[in-house]
Amino acid sequence: MYEQTFSRANPGCIVFLLDRSDSMKQPWQSSGGTLAEGAARAVNKILLDLCVKSAKEVGGRARHYFDVGVFGYGACPVAGGEGVEPALGGQPIVPIPQVFDSPLRVEAPRGGPDDETVDAVAGSRLPVWIEPVFGYRTPMCQAIAAAGEHVYGWAANHPDSFPPIVINITDGMVTDSPYDGADLTEWAARLTSIETRDGRALLFNIFLSPRLAPEVLFPTTAAGLPEPGPDLFGISSVLPSSMVANARGARVEIADGARGFVFNAGLATLVWFLEIGTRVADVRDR
């Protein structure tokens, strides 16, 4: 299980659930800017990485190695009001060649040429797909439900692929549990019961905090986490052995049984977490 590589015959599916609630306007002490800005930068960085992984030939388009989705929850900048809204051109699941071809804009790295979190190169301009947005409450259950519908359809159409990877980025308390008769834990269980022949869908959680506190990365226990950390830890999938092996191959220390969860990550750690959580094969230290 969890051994399939990403290929055009068996592409991967990576879905982000992006908290766009009002509290995401709080400052990100460890990395500057707001939590919403940091989360958007991290998602843009991983979308860029997926595009870069899929760019193979000189002058060519990206190869269809991935399908990706970004679901914002909280403020809905297009429809207005509170809810859940696909944030990649209004489409729920998008082939990576389409992402490759349609950034919102291209801009200079915000941190300048010394910003290690964006692999900045002098003179390099980088694409942006996701904007920081915040407002309203935190309908996380509805986000899992909405994304789950599309993830279910994707898995049914890709039975031999690596199972879908869903990454939830949030700063706090879910405000819609129970939703439609099920609480957050039940919605998470429904999501992770979706499967391909290579395993069940994975749900990873990134718990951002405006407070200065030590980072907790890939823990094996919820001990010491502030609320709602234990709940988010509880719904986070155990990292499959293939991801653990890849991480260890890249010289990251991860214990057996570690969960796909991170608390209070700075931007560099957040990007690192996302790289580990979206990498399933072919680690190369370039």
Partner 1 sequence: MILACSTCFALEKQGSAPLEWEDAAAYHDGDPAAGVEPRFVVVDGATEAYDAIRWVEHLVASFVAHTGPAITHDALGVWFEQVQRLWAAEAPARFATVIERHKFLTEGSFATFLGCRLADLDGPGARWEAAALGDTVLFHIRDGRLLSHFPPIGVDEFGLSPAGVGTRPEALDPMLRDLELGAGEVRAGDVLFVATDALAQWLLVEAARDESSLWWALAALDHDAAFAAIVADQRAAGRLHNDDVTLLRVRLLTEAPGDLVMCL
What CA–CA distance (Å, rounded) separates 40 from 130? 6
Out of 182, 250, 252, 268, point to the residue binding partner 1 (CB under 8 A). Answer: 250
Out of 1, 2, 7, 25, point to the residue binding partner 1 (CB under 8 A). Answer: 7
Tokens representing 124 are 């390099």
What CA–CA distance (Å, rounded) separates 212 from 216? 12
Shortest CB 209 distance to partner 1, Å: 30
Is 115 near partner 1 (CB under 8 A)?
Answer: no
Shortest CB 204 distance to partner 1, Å: 21
Rounded to the nearest 5 degrees, what angle is found at the Cα of 273, between the Cα atoms of 152 and 186? Answer: 35
x-or-dash pattern for partner 1, window 31-70, by CB under 8 A?
-----------------x--xxx-xxxxxx-x--------
Cβ closest to partner 1, residue 59 vs residue 81: 59
Secondary structure percentages of the chain, helix, strand, coil, to 5: 30, 20, 50
Number of Cβ within 10 Å of residue 215's Cβ equals 14
Shortest CB 99 distance to partner 1, Å: 10
Cβ-contact 217, 207 below 8 angstroms: no
Is 212 near partner 1 (CB under 8 A)?
Answer: no
Which of these, 199, 123, 208, 117, lies nearest to 165 by C-alpha position? Answer: 199
* Per-residue DSSP letter, 87: -
Is 112 near partner 1 (CB under 8 A)?
Answer: no
Shortest CB 273 distance to partner 1, Å: 19
Cβ closest to partner 1, residue 107 vs residue 180: 107
- Residues lying near partner 1 in the complex (CB under 8 A): 5, 7-10, 48, 51-53, 55-60, 62, 100, 106, 119, 121, 124-127, 245-246, 248-250, 281-286
